[in-house]
Amino acid sequence: MVDIEKVRKHCFKKRGVTEGFPFDDETLVFKVMNKIFCLANLTPPLSINLKCYPELAVELREKYNAVTPGYHMNKTHWNTIALDGSVPNKEILSWIDHSYEIVTNGLTKKVKEELMKSK
């Protein structure tokens, strides 16, 4: 089952990722070039928020009970995924990749160039 530590390790495999607690001490936020792509709720029930293309967001919500509109986020573009073991690990990790890609694709050319120079 995917847990917060697996989420964290997966996020840090990506270029330019930072983490922090900008909102409170219960929500771990992962950013790329200062743009949020993943939020992790550290208090039970554990969950993560991920950015998603609107059509896919709806499709995932219909397919998985653990996927709901993004809690405290724009519900068109964000999903909350309960880390309850009901969604295959491979799916969750691919959704993290998808969220990261959406955010990095939206960066300016200059910021993308900076990202490519980072670790």
Residues 54-99: tens digit of each pLDDT: 999 999 999 999 999 998 898 999 999 999 999 999 999 999 999 9
- Which CATH number fits the domain 4-117, given the four candidates 3.90.1170.20, 3.30.420.40, 3.30.70.20, 3.90.1150.30? 3.90.1150.30
What is the rounded distance in angstroms from the CA atom of residue 85 to the CA atom of residue 45? 12
Identify the pLDDT of residue 79.
97
pLDDT tens for residues 10-38?
999 999 999 999 999 999 999 999 999 99
Output the pLDDT for position 119: 72
Is 113 exposed, middle or buried (CB count within 10 Å of its CB: 0-12, 13-18, 19+)?
exposed
42, amino acid identity: L
Q: What is the pLDDT of residue 45?
A: 92
Cα dihedral 35, 101, 65, 43 sign:
negative
